[in-house]
Amino acid sequence: MPELPETETIARDLHAAIVGARIVAAQVLRPDVVRGVTAAGCARRLHRRTLQRVWRRAKSVVLSCDDALHAVVTPRFTGALILGAPDVADAYACIRLTLADDRELRYTDVRRLGTFAVFDSAALHAWSDALGPEPLDPAFTAERLSECLRGTKRAVKAVLMDQKRLAGVGNIYANESLWRAGIRPARRAASLTRHECAMLHHELTGVLREAIAARGTSFRDYRDAFGARGSYAAQLQAYGRGGQPCTRCGRVLKISHAIDGRATVWCAGCQR
């Protein structure tokens, strides 16, 4: 599913492309993806709104409009925000926002596991406050990461993916950052030393920045705002490489689904 680098890429693209544009029509085709308001209320509240900012929080893209209205789009596994010409045939289109300049912003979702929420500012703040800190925020230091990991017996990988403790990191980048830091994913989070926390902080922020520069990771579903694929998959060293040799020590990478049911890939030789 789209994680921090993918949703950051979408948000940056849309911010550059549609800020200042006015929504002249809002059509809800799949009401089951709408949250925070009824389908009719969603269409009504977005009608004639002007887009003022597009930004990311955790794994969501936020469309902030005038009159303190915010659409929070969480793509999850198969969702996408696509900017293009109106009336494009799309059997999986859930919401279509027609802009005054004859472009369309379309939320499309094959499995409809993602959500499209409409919040006022108070609801937006309540939603955001329930999430953990952003790993690329300058205030997120190695000590802050240590605080996130402290006081829990859970596996360090599970804690990294817990959005209430740390926002935006999912399975791909948890696997990658732990491999790069040489830390076994099943290690109890509280057992990490200060040095290991500093190393993990360095590798986590590094892999996220590199993935943003590559416009995210595409295996099957993820596309950017213009329908293009991200290229970071070619740089992955752990995720998706179970059963292949570790590029650092040569041992065969192990794969398990024991941590939260997600695919965990690690090297028993160089991750401790």
Question: Does the active-site annotation cover 3?
Answer: yes
Of 12, 59, 180, 215, which one is the catalytic site residue?
A: 59
Parent domain of 163: 142-234
157 and 119 within one domain: no
Domain CATH for 167: 1.10.8.50
186 and 111 within one domain: no
Evaluate if residue 124 carries a pLDDT over 90. Answer: yes
107 and 30 within one domain: yes
Of 35, 229, 254, 262, which one is the catalytic site residue?
A: 262
Q: What pLDDT score does 169 carry?
A: 98
Q: Does 260 map to a domain?
A: no
Question: Does the active-site annotation cover 6?
Answer: no
Report DSSP letters for the chain, one per residue: ---HHHHHHHHHHHHHHHTT-BEEEEEES-GGGEESS-HHHHHHHHTT-BEEEEEEETTEEEEEETTTEEEEEE-TTTEEEEEE-TT---TTEEEEEEETTS-EEEEEESS--SEEEEEEHHHHHHHHHTS---TTSTT--HHHHHHHHTT--SBHHHHHT-TTTSSS--HHHHHHHHHHHT--TTSBGGG--HHHHHHHHHHHHHHHHHHHHTT-B-SSS---TTSPPPBGGGG-SSTT-TTSBPTTT-PBPEEE-TTTTS-EEE-TTT--
Number of domains present in the structure of the chain: 2
20 and 68 within one domain: yes
pLDDT band at 248 (very low <50, low <70, confident <90, very high): very high
Mean pLDDT of 33-45: 97
Question: Does the active-site annotation cover 2?
Answer: yes
Domain CATH for 45: 3.20.190.10
Evaluate if residue 220 carries a pLDDT over 90. Answer: no
Question: Does the active-site annotation cover 157?
Answer: no
